[in-house]
């Protein structure tokens, strides 16, 4: 299964199997299973992957606590979890680490990625917490297996970080290739981002009734997913840079 087809990729964040039917009905290309920013337990992962039934790519978050650092034991545990998720049918994972100086911890991140050879992965929004985002992006580009970087351009999301993120993507096609805008994405952002060459987009509360962040009360709604699907399909293509 490939993540990217002819049009922009639409990813939906889910928390349980009750979210999956709306993703399938609405035409999502990929699901990320993210339970409060941490790795789900195996029964939850199994139920989501069973509901997805191979009809949509699923990535699962690898994060054991609220920090973006880990120990050797934690790394070993995450490799074990990843192998379990993959055996259940996951297509990829979501991971990423920062060091004590709030820089991308390339060594630890690559160590985990290389423990899962051939598995595509997303670097999560930890990148928005780094002190120098441009330097962070230079560290991320071309890491083995990396196919997406979720970012809102700011810890506060696209409400504050949109302009900087758009400038970054428009100025570097390698950033645009990997960037997956996340965090208060609105329909008004989409045409600007697609013109800059961005091809992956993530939504969460946007596809729950009322924009709810309570996944236990408001499940992913197929009609809302479909509205984003149409929006992306109709978005203007990238504008070629003038030499």
Give the tens place of pLDDT for each residue, 94-128: 999 999 999 999 999 999 999 999 999 999 999 99
Model pLDDT, residue 239: 84
pTM score of the predicted model: 0.94
Which pLDDT band holds residue 137 (cuts at 50, 70, 90)?
very high
**What's the longest Cα–Cα distance across the chain?**
53
Q: What is the distance between the terminal CA atoms of the chain, rounded to a whole angstrom?
A: 36
Sorted by where each begins, the domain ranges of the chain are 9-233
Which pLDDT band holds residue 18 (cuts at 50, 70, 90)?
very high
**What is the strand order of the sheet 121-123 is part of?**
179-181, 146-151, 121-123, 92-95, 57-61, 30-33, 9-14, 200-203
Give the tens place of pLDDT for each residue, 230-241: 999 999 999 865
The encoded tokens of residue 63 equal: 């994060």
What are the residues whose beta carbons fall under 8 Å from the beta carbon of 6, sequence distance 6 or more? none
What are the residues whose beta carbons fall under 8 Å from the beta carbon of 194, sequence distance 6 or more? 8, 232, 235, 236, 237, 238
Distances (CA, A) of 41 to 61, 66, 78, 161, 228: 11, 16, 12, 32, 29
What are the residues whose beta carbons fall under 8 Å from the beta carbon of 73, sequence distance 6 or more? none
Q: What does CATH list as the number for 9-233?
A: 3.20.20.380
pLDDT greater than 80 at residue 14? yes
- The answer to whether 169 and 133 are in contact (CB under 8 A) is no
Model pLDDT, residue 7: 84
Q: Could you count the other beta carbons within 10 Å of the beta carbon of residue 47?
A: 17
Give the tens place of pLDDT for each residue, 44-84: 999 999 999 999 999 999 999 989 999 899 999 999 999 99
CA distance 45 to 60: 8
């Amino acid at each position: 299964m490939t993540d990217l087809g002819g049009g922009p990729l639409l990813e939906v964040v889910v928390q349980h199997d009750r979210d999956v039917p709306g993703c399938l009905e609405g035409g999502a290309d990929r699901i990320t299973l993210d339970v409060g920013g941490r790795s789900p337990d195996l029964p939850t992962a199994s139920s989501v992957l069973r509901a997805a039934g191979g009809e949509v790519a699923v990535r699962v978050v690898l994060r054991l606590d609220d920090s973006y650092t880990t120990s050797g034991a934690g790394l070993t545990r995450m490799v074990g979890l990843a192998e379990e998720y993959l055996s259940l049918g996951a297509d990829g994972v979501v991971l990423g680490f920062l060091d004590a100086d709030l820089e991308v911890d390339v060594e630890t991140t690559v160590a985990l990625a290389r423990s899962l050879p051939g598995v595509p992965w997303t670097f999560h929004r930890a990148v928005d917490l780094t002190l120098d985002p441009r330097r962070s992006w230079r560290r991320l580009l071309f890491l083995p297996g990396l196919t997406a970087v979720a970012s809102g351009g700011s810890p506060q999301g696209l409400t504050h970080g949109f302009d900087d993120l758009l400038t970054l993507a428009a100025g570097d096609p390698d950033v645009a290739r990997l960037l997956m805008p996340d965090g208060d994405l609105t329909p008004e952002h989409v045409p600007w981002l697609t013109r800059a060459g961005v091809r992956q987009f993530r939504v969460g509360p946007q596809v729950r009734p009322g924009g709810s962040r309570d996944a236990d009360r408001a499940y992913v709604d197929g009609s809302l997913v479909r509205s984003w699907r149409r929006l992306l399909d109709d978005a203007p293509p990238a504008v070629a840079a003038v030499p």
